[in-house]
Amino acid sequence: MSRLIVPTGEAGADGSVLRITPESAGWQYVGFEVCKLQSGQALERSTGDSEVCLVLLSGYADAEAGGQAWRNIGRRMNIFERIPPYAVYVPNDSAYRLTAVTDAEIAICSAPGKGTYEARLITPERVGVEPRGYGSMSRTIHNILPEQEPADSLLVVEVFTPNGNWSSYPPHRHDEEDLPRQSYLEETYYHRLQPEHGFAVQRVYTDDRSLDETLTIRNGDAVLVPKGYHPVSAAPGYDSYYLNIMAGPVRTWKFHNDPDHEWLMRK
């Protein structure tokens, strides 16, 4: 089934407020963590057998990885400034260190690595900005680590949905390894809302309805999508943001639309 993961409320000693591992999720590929660092606080980790994409959700930080260093990276103090973020790609069997220059929120996205690529900085100019949909299905995409950019497993994208609109819509799924028609990708959604006291709704369902859940999303929640269609609705008055992490056996995003709603693509 899908699962709703809520933040811990208070940050741990390393700033962690939300953590998903393949083991805790009951799947194979995707890991995800959010750390909130106070100014001057450092986060130092080894990547092990996973490649990592560090997304600077808000604030400024110094970063070190793979023998390289980048100082005072950051561009937005609030996610809802709606400008593309900085990110750092770190391969497996490596290490990284982030030191917060201001209070900062960091997303740690992970998936199996093969050691193919070196550590690098992903600047906002490298993040593709894409309008998608129309009418009440319109939203804005920031392609942080799309399949056109080098990585072994990870796909990372963030989505801004205006209040009252739908996204990940028409509903689609990517839960079968049937290329070139469809790829198998596990996926997490990390949700934020503006104003923070609002809510959004996410439905996760399969064709046979053996999985059919509707989840009420609060600010800071995460949703695991192991299979099925997974549309999101932003409640009127509350803009929605989510960060998507996807990974599977083949690094490509090939999806299947719900046949009942695919006609909306032809409008």
Domain ranges across the chain: 5-264
CA end-to-end span of the chain: 32
Q: What is the pLDDT along the chain (267 residues), one digit of tens a residue?
A: 556 776 766 777 889 999 999 999 999 999 999 999 999 999 999 999 999 999 999 999 999 999 999 999 999 999 999 999 999 999 999 999 999 999 999 999 999 999 999 999 999 999 999 999 999 999 999 999 999 999 999 999 999 999 999 999 999 999 999 999 999 999 999 999 999 999 999 999 999 999 999 999 999 999 999 999 999 999 999 999 999 999 999 999 999 999 999 999 876
User: Cα(6)–Cα(75) distance, rounded to whole angstroms?
Assistant: 27
On whether the 5-264 domain is CATH 2.60.120.10, my answer is yes
Contact 218, 244 (CB under 8 A): no
Q: Three-state SS for 31?
A: strand
Q: Which amino acid is at 214?
A: T
3-class secondary structure per residue, 131-164: EECCHHHCEEEEEEECCCCCCCCCEEEEEEECCC
Q: Three-state SS for 264?
A: helix
Contacts of 64 (CB under 8 A, 6+ apart): 70, 96, 97, 98
CB burial of residue 258 (10 Å; 0-12, 13-18, 19+): middle
Paired strand residues for 33: 19, 108
Could you write out the DSSP letters of every residue in 205-245? E-TTSSSEEEEEE-TT-EEEESSSB--EEEPTT-EEEEEEE
